[in-house]
Structure formats: C-alpha cells, structure tokens
Structure 1
Amino acid sequence: MSQPQKPQFDTKNMIMAVALSMLIVFGWQYYYAGPAAKKAQEATQTQETVQATIATDGAGQVKDRASLIAATKRVKIDTPDLAGSINLTGALLDDLELPKYHETIDDKSPVVTLLSPSGAPNAYFVEQGFVPKPGSTIKVPDSKTEWQVEGAPTLTTSTPVTLTWDNGEGLKFAREISISDNYLFTVKQTVTNSGTAPVDLIPYGRAQRQDTPQVAGYWVFYEGPLGVQNGGLEEHKYAALKKDPDVPATVPSKGGWLGFTDKYWAAMLIPDQETNYAASYRFVKIPGRDAYQTDFLATAPITVPAGGSATYEDHVYAGAKIVSVINSIFEKFKFAHFDLMIDWGWFAPITKFMFYLVSFVHSIVGNFGVAILVVTLLVKLAVFPLANRSYASMSKMKNLKPQMDAIKEKYPDDKMKQQQETMALYKEAKVNPMAGCLPIFVQIPVFFSLYKVILTTIELRHAPFFGWIHDLSAPDPTTLFNLFGLIPWTPPHALMIGFWPLLMGITMWVQMRLNPTPPDPIQQQMFNWMPVIFTFSLGTFPAGLVIYWAWSNTLSILQQSYIMKKHGTELNLFGNIKDSIPFLKKKPAAT
C-alpha cells in the first residue's frame, strides 16, 4: 500500500503572497492612512494655532466692569432691544445690556446685563475672526488688535458699523456688523489681498464665560453650554466640563449653532450654515479663575486670491429667549432646530401647545393670570366626558360603602377574602375602582407643561395677576405664619405658605373628601395628609402654577358635586371632614 504524498512547499507562491500583502499594506498606508494622519495632524496644529491666537485673556485680578469699559475705545450699540458697545480692542462683543428687562419687578431696578468684558466679574463675551493655516506666518487680527471705525459711529438697526485693520503685509480685514431681528447680529468679514500670492484663512468664533455661573437649580430646565450639531442637541454641564478639563467635547458638524443658555437669556454663535466646522465645549483654567468656552473652527480654509477678496458671514444671537423672535429668525434663516434654545422639556408638543394657547388667550384678556384661569377651564372642558365617567364611577363606589363595611364585619380577620368580596361587589355594580385616576393621569402632562411655560418662558417673567401677585413666575410672597403681613416678621423659607398655596391645599382637601374613602387605614392616612404635604411642597412653586391648581381643584369640586348629586350620592362634606380627623371621628357605640 502506497504512502500518501506530503504536500510540497511552494516557495514561488509564498513570495507572491508576501509581495501582494506588502503591496496592500503600503498602498493603504500611502493612499489612506498617510493622508488621514496628515489631516489629523493639521487639524491638531490648527486647534493649537487657534488657541494661541484667541488665547484666553484675563488676569486673575477681577476688575470693575465700568472701569474696564471706560478704559477701551468702543463703538456704541443703541437699539430698542440692546444697549452697550463693541470693544475696538479685538472687535469683541463684550458689553451688552437688555433695556427692556430689569433685575426685579421694580422698573427702577438695574436693567439686565448680558455680556461683560474679560476680567470683569462674571465676564461673558463673544469673539470672531480668522486664523492662518498651520505653519503660516501671516499676521491676523486677534483679541489685542486695535480696529478702526469707518462710517457710522453707532450701531443701530438701520446703521451697521464697519471695522477695519491692515496687517501691513498686503491683507486688509473689514468687519461689517449689523443688527436685525431684535437680538441677531450679522457679522460679514471681508479680507482683501493686495499681495502676489493667495492666502488661506480659517474662520472661527468663540463665546466665553469667566467664573462659574450660578444656575437656578431647577431640574425642570437646562442652563449651560448648549448647541445643535448634526441635527442633534448638545448639552454639556459646567461641572462635567470642569471635571475633565483636558478633554474638550468636540463635535464635527455642518450647520447648527452653539453657545450658552441661561433661564431667560442666551448668547449663541451661528456659523455659516454651509461650512463644515468642529464645535468644541471646553473648560479653561486662567490665572485665578475658571472659564468655560464654546467655539467653532472651520475645517477648511477660505482662499483669498492674489489681488482679490473673500468674504465669510456668520451670526451671533445675544439677548432674551423670546419665542416669537426665535421662531421668526428660524423662518428667515433656517438655522437648524433654533427653537431648541428654549428647553421645552419631555412633553415638548404639549408644552408648546399650552404656551401658544396661554399666549393667545392673553392677547384677548390682557392678563396672563386670567389667561391661565381660562386655559384651565378649557382643559377641564376637553376632559369633561372622561371626568364625568370617572366621577360617576366614584359616586357608585361611595354608594357601596354600606356593603363594603358589611364585608369587613363579616370577614374581619381575612384580608384576602375582603378583597375578593369587594372586587366581586365592584364587578356586580359595574364599578371601576381605577376610574378616579384617569383624569389625574390625563392632567399630569398638562400640569408639567404649564409648569414649564410659567417657569421657563420669558413672556411670563414679571407678569402680574391681581392684588399682591406681581410676578406669576415667582412664589406667592405672603405667608400664613406672619398672618399674611400683619406681623412684621419674615419666617424661614420652608414656612412661606402664602394665600394661594393655602387655598390650593384647602380645595385639594375638599376634593379628596368627595372621593370614596380608601378601605386600607394606611391609605386613609396618606389621603388625609396629602393636601398638607402638597401645600408645603408647592408653597415655593411659581404663583401662576399654584393658581392653576387651586382653580382646577375648584372646578373639579363643582363638577364632582354635580355628578354625585345626579347619582343620588349624599355629599355630607362635614361628616366626611369629621371622619378624617382622629379626635372628631365617631366612636362605635358600646354594646
């Protein structure tokens, strides 16, 4: 029997395989990996260049805002919505006030300050410009460049201003700044090249805040670095950026915007929407201070031809987050998801609907508090059929109380049997014990949406109601514990239970007395204490929300009382009250 032949080693094939593999490796390195690495290296060098060019200025010593403004040459800003100036040193937008808004409800209080120069307390400014390509020695304007004014000396809605600077090497930079749409700055940067060779320049923009801003602390809306890149929302909290200072959050994108948002105000960089760029959110440590920065850097340069010019245009939004203004800007410029500058929350469609409904009613009645009352009534009418079925079911349950008491007496020690017999009784009477929860579940999104509207939208900021309610977005300023101002004493914050929270608690308590008494004693105690807990917890909520809840409870009491009377259910509210208070509760007669 012949032995099987061993396979022979084919040297020729092995050499060809090794050569082919090397060809593939070197080809991939030459045509893909090499260019990719070079591109990444250039991007890194560009980032380093832009950071050096737009180096964070500001010494550790904090200086007075007014003195910093007075120490520099400036171009005045004067519009119905904005007041301030542009710093000719660096062409920085670093002095901006909002004359239509005051710090408090007192019109004599200071107007809201949005932007302040670098080095001032809570400094906050915006800068735009160009950086050269890595390795280039072209002189470009930076944060210390002294610009000159051409034409109009004041920036208004009808008169733009033009700033110029000549680098002395054949490049002249001109920056035309105009204001439209209330708070929108349009910045048109033109570079003229009188030299003999083309020049590549990379556009950038940055918004910086020095010192950690104090956020309101509400979980219901976001404050901090914010943007939209690639159609998605970017939120980077101050604490998160500070925790990892060496790794900025960088997102490549085309279109969108980025900057900082506060509860009512925002300053946003809006790059050219057709330009690819890298958006960065970063923490910056400067001598003696913390700083936070959002910036964008174009990924491709613009070329200024020899003997020609090139233009780059972008925008800055700096001002109040007014819904109608933001919507009109979106309609005009189509900035991606520009409405997300306002945090509409989890129930965004409902929240927007509630805002527009409240605003529409306000345009008719002229008072946001009255508008909230009217909208509450409209919501009640919308859920009227569902609420009627719910209250009818609860009335039937209330009428079954004698039979339920009999079941307890029949099976005093058998909880399981009590539940079985009770459910059988419900089934026989065609009663749904969960029906009473349906109107509550329906109104929870409405409640939170209205909460967002009152707390977040600037339209309700300092909006008055009647009497002592001068700001629907602030808590009721009165308190039960100083007899609503009769006693000259300011109680602790936890005891600030004003008239409207107290009225809300009373109406909630009355409404719960109309509902069937829970069979479980623990549930009974929970129901008895719930109005008290809600009164204290909502005492610090915006007055507009508490007014909504108190009015909603009142409408529910009227509706539920009517349904109960229609089904022959005895109201006997006073008896229910006595039964809910331990020392007034009727004791069983002695046998």
Structure 2
Amino acid sequence: MTDQKNLIFAIAISIAILLGFQFFVQKPQQEAVRQAQQQAEQAAKPSGDAAPPGAPGAQPAGAPGAAVGAGQLLQRDAALARAPRVPIDSRRLKGSVSLRGGRIDDLTMKDYRETVRPDSPLIDLLSPSDTARPYFVQFGWIPGTDSREVALPKDDTVWRAEGGVLGTDQPLTLVWDNGQGLVFRRTLTLDANFLMTVTDRVENTGTTPVSLLPYALTKRWPTPHTEGFFILHEGLIGVTDGTLREISYSGIKDQKEVKQATTGGWVGFTDKYWLVTLIPDQAEAVESRFTWEKRGADDAYQADYLGAARTIQPGATAETTHRVFAGAKEVHLLDDYRDRLGIQRFDRAIDFGWFYFLTKPIFYVIDYFYRWLGNFGLAILLLTVLIKLAFFPLANKSYRSMSKLKLLQPKMMELREKYGEDRQRLNQEMMALYRKEGANPASGCLPILVQIPVFFALYKVLFVTIEMRHAPFYGWIRDLSAPDPTTIFNLFGLIPWTPPHILMIGAWPLIMGVTMFLQQKLNPQPPDPIQAKVFMVLPIVFTYMLAAFPAGLVIYWAWNNLLSILQQWVIMRRAGAA
C-alpha cells in the first residue's frame, strides 16, 4: 500500500540519519600514534620556537629548529623548573608566567578534571615549549620598516618581575631594559574567570625616535586529538572583519597561511570544551593570521595578529592592550564577555551549528531549569514536557487519526482478502475507506518527524556544552554527556567482565526500547505481514543505535515515549480503540 510504504520510507530515512550520525560522530575516534613523530621535538632552549608575525629574520615555515630526541623531552614539572617563574593563582586558574620570554605557558583549570572521578587530574591547558605537547601565548614588538636597529625582547629574554603572584585583582608587571634607551613594561591582570589583560608599554629614554609594531601569538604542536568530526569544529578559529572563520588542522596544512585584515575580532584555537584566543583592542585595525609549519616530525600551528606601527619619540611612551581568553567555553561567560567588552561574536566560539537559532535556546531553557531544579537530567525531563505541550494539538490530531485506523483494521483485512491479488484496486478501495472515515495512514510519522529536529538540537547541546560535561543524573548515570556505562551483557555489573564496546547496551537504552515497543503496540498494525515484522524490529534497532549516544539523549527519548504512551492511550480509550 502506497501510504504504508511512505511510512516505512520515512522511518527508514530516520534510521539512516541516526546511523550516519552514530558512525560519523559518536563512534570513538582514537588519537593517531605519534611515537615516530616524537623523535624530533623542540629543544630545551626556548629561543626560536615562536615566529612573531612579520618579524624580519623570523624562522621560516618548515624550519625544524633545534630538535632533540624523544628521550630528551622533559616532564612538565622539570620543564617548569628550567626558567624563573611567577605563580598564577586565582579562583579558577593556577600556573605560572615564564620570566624567560615573558610568555604564558603554564595554565591549569581548577574547576575541571579529566574524568568524573573526583581525584582525577585537573585539565592542563597551556604547557612549556620543551614538553611533549607545547601550547603557549606570547606577546612582543617588532621593528618598523623605517626604524633603526634596536634590541627587542625575544624568546630567551629574561624579564624582571614586579610582584610576587598574578591573581584576581593582583596585577603582575614585567620589566626589561634593552640598554639602548628603551624600557619595556608588561602588566598582566586577571579577572575572576578566564580572561587576562596584557598591557605592553615601551618608554623611549633615548635621543632618537623608534618605530615598533605590537604582536600577540598563540602556538601549539603537535596536532591535538579531535573528536567532533562533522558535528563539531576543533582547530583554528576567529572572528575577523565581523565573520566567523573556522579552519581545521588539515585545512591550514593545505593552505599553510591565511591572512585577514580586521578591526577588532579575535583569533585562536578551539577544542571541544576549551578555548585559547587572542583579543586585540576592538577598535584597532590589525593583521590577523593563521599559519602552519613543519617542526621536526611534527606539525605546528600558530594564530597571531600584528598591530599598527607606533612611532615613539624621545621621552614618549607607546602602549597597546591585548586580551587573552584561556579556559572553558561556558555559554553565559562568553555571552557576558561579548556584551560587556564588545568582543565581536565571541559566543560563536561554542559550535552550536547551523541550527543555532534552535540549539542555543534549548540550552538556555535546560540551564534555566537546572538552576531551579539543581539537576540537568531533571531539566531535560521538564524540557520534554514543554515540548510535548507545544506539539500537543499536532499529536492529538495524529493519535485520533491512528485511533480511527485501529478501529478500521477489521474492514482493512476484509478488503485485503477481497482484492489481495489486485494491488491497484486494493489501494483504491483502501484510500476510499480512509477518506470516508477521515483517517490518515501516515499520521504515525508526525510524532517521529517532529522529534527529529529537537533530538539533534538536544544532541548538540549535550555534545558541545561544557555545562553538560560530567553532569550527573541519578543512580549509575554520572555523566549525561556520555553513554550509559552499564550493559546487559554483564548483568549491569553483577558479572566481573567488561564487554567490548559493541556490546555496551545499558539500562536506559533498554528502557527506551521497551517504551518504544509499548507505544508501537498502541498503534494500528500494518495489514502487510512484512511491514508488521519491520515495525516489530524497530525498537531493537533503535535500542542498539542509541546505546552509544549520550545518556541524556536516551533519557529524553524514553521519557518522551512514556508521555506519548499516556497521551495516546487516553485518546484511544476515549475513541474506543484501546
């Protein structure tokens, strides 16, 4: 029958979308083996490991620098001890500023750990250049084209600190005198969250003018592990000239360099949950740049910008201000910086995707309910109720039509027996019966199709927002953004055996499958035996597929099914079909 085939086709498309989503997005991606690549790393001497934008004589792309063997790589603590440092200690960050080079290359977030275990390591965001995975932020000046030769701070320049610690409302000033009439002062301040303000000043105490251009850069290598694939951008990111720019690590390797003149904006690196980005004065014109270079056996990536030239007369001072965000991509925090500091489209550092207009409001609703209920799982349940109320009239119409179909099943079987060999006539008679009774055989598709946009929007929220990371529900669900950790194949932990990933079918996916089966039993059964068998298999297929999805999404689907069963049962009972 044409309409039943359409229904099967619609469900098949839904399954294909879910399967594709699982294969390309949810399937765990393992980090590439890098043992061979780690045979050449950055030398212990930090000089030359960052190329200021436009600097004369800067190390060209592809230059390996002074490489050392993997056995010479330093542990983090040993690397930190190689240079004099000033501690960073605020409410949410700890680490240190290296006085050699005046760079920020040691930063750890106090609020976030690697796993849900309370004793797991904190997330290290930035690391020195002589560790296995360098990641740092650096500032400085380069000479103007018409400037005389002057000594400028370099990677190995040792600054003098004025202040014992950098913390919230505890600024730190670094000073370096080049001995040729220029005194450089760098003042760093840190807010209560993840934003640092860096003010670079140059005082000309000499007798001749000098022209300098300020720069800021952030650099990392080797290529970091990414897991989002199509659903999530991880790599180089920025807003230049008012436009969001997203370049993957493989993309910048192909292009090698991407330049963009911009007024304001920001550039940096984004991971799934973390962001390190450079923010110039939003009223200043700068030349932004993304670059790639080969560094020994590794790929190194850099985001930077170069400001306009400042001519500093004798006895005068030049000043420039940079901001650095280094921390977790919390939705309300990025919104606040965007609005309060006027940072262009800063909230877009969180990849809410093409359906931003739907995904972000869903997050706001869940977050509002969380602040009220104190549990993101309960917030998702309440959101589901709101969605059911919003689509209540549509669902009612669908369920009433399905009730009529169930009452018509005896007549449909009679027509099938009468015209079973004449498919065309059977379809004509069936359509005539539907029109006479006001029934729509495709009505069962509507509740499923309506759920799909919400399903994917909620998946996006669970996948990309730091607020959902490690958010517990109740019982065994300690992370709503991760799959249900239990499995029926070891009797939910009673048998001391960890099954392979393919057999991880937890309690909540099973609950979802049961609710889907019960809802299906309320629906009119297809007269075609083959179609009936297809429908019977669907709960099993969906149970297996959704087992690898975030637990919060499975809980949403199961709860939605329960509400649908209640609504459908009441309507069908009133119609005499239950």
Query: Any idea what SS the aligned residue of 1:285 has?
Result: strand
- Picking from 451, 458, 464, the partner of 1:443 is 451
Residue aligned with 2:56, SS: helix
Matches within 5 A, 1:409-428: 409-428=417-436
Relative distance call for 1:56 and 1:113 in structure 2 (3 A) is farther
Query: Which residue matches 1:252?
Result: 261
Q: Give the secondary structure class of the aligned counterpart of 2:237.
A: strand
Task: Say if 1:58 and 1:286, in contact at 8 Å, map to a contact too.
Answer: no
- Contact 1:60 1:287 (C-alpha < 8 Å) held by counterparts: no
CA distance in 1, matches of 2:528, 2:135: 58
The answer to whether the 8 Å contact 2:129/2:136 transfers is yes
The residue aligned with 1:147 is 159
In 1, the alpha carbon distance for the partners of 2:231 and 2:244 equals 17
Q: 1:377 aligns with which of 381, 385, 388?
A: 385
Aligned partner of 1:15 in structure 2 is none
Give the alignment partner of residue 173 of structure 2, picking from 159, 162, 166.
Answer: 162
Counterpart for residue 88 of structure 1 = 99
Establish whether residue 542 from structure 1 lines up as the match of residue 550 from structure 2.
yes
1:274, CA displacement in angstroms? 1.7
Deviation at 1:48, TM superposition (A): 5.3
- Contact 2:55 2:142 survives alignment (8 Å): no
* Conserved? CA contact 2:215–2:305, under 8 Å: yes
Aligned counterparts of 1:57 and 1:79: Cα–Cα separation in 2: 35
For this pair of structures, how many residues does the alignment match? 522
The answer to whether the 8 A contact 2:362-2:458 is kept is: yes
Residue 556 of structure 1, aligned match among 559, 564, 568: 564
- 1:368 matched residue in structure 2: 376
When the two structures are superposed, what TM-score results if normalisation uses the length of structure 2? 0.87
Shifted more, 459-468 versus 45-54: the winner is: 45-54
In structure 2, the gaps of 5 or more residues are: 1-51
SS at match of 1:425: helix
- 1:187 corresponds, among 194, 198, 202, to 198
Q: What's 1:171 paired with?
A: 182
Is 1:266 the counterpart of 2:266? The answer is: no
SS in 2 for 1:155: coil
Deviation at 1:126, TM superposition (A): 0.8
Using the TM superposition, give the Cα deviation of residue 413 of structure 1 relative to its aligned residue in structure 2, in angstroms. Answer: 2.1
Structure 2 residue corresponding to 1:467, chosen from 459, 466, 475: 475
Kept in 2, the 8 Å contact 1:454–1:460? The answer is: yes
Supply the distance in 2 between the matched residues of 1:90 and 1:522 (Cα, whole angstroms). 72
Whole-angstrom distance in 2 between the partners of 1:127 and 1:395: 68
> SS in structure 1 opposite 2:104?
strand
- Select the residue among 107, 116, 120 that pairs with 1:109: 120
Supply the distance in 2 between the matched residues of 1:513 and 1:346 (Cα, whole angstroms): 36
Distance 1:468 1:135, change over 3 A: same
Partner of 1:526: 534
TM-score by length of structure 1 reads 0.85
Q: Unpaired runs of 5+ in structure 1? A: 1-44, 571-591
Q: How far apart are 1:428 and its partner, in Å?
A: 1.5
Kindly name which structure, 1 or 2, has the bigger radius of gyration based on alpha carbons: 1
Contact 1:59 1:119 in 2 (8 A): no
- What is the DSSP-based 3-state SS (H/G/I as helix, E as strand, rest coil) of the residue aligned with 2:306? strand
Residue 553 (structure 1) shift: 0.7
| Offset, 1:119 | 2.4
After TM superposition, the structure 1 stretch with the greater mean CA deviation from structure 2, 466-475 or 403-412, is 403-412
Percent identity reads: 48
Give the 5 Å matches for 1:1-20. Answer: none
**Structure 1 position 141, deviation (Å):** 1.1
Q: Distance in 1 between matches of 2:449 and 2:402?
A: 16
* Greater Cα shift, 206-215 or 272-281: 272-281
CA RMSD of aligned residues (A): 2.0
Distance 1:517 1:99, change over 3 A: same
Indicate the residue corresponding to 2:25 in structure 1: none
1:311-460 pair list within 5 angstroms: 311-460=319-468
| Aligned-partner residue type, residue 151 of structure 2 | K
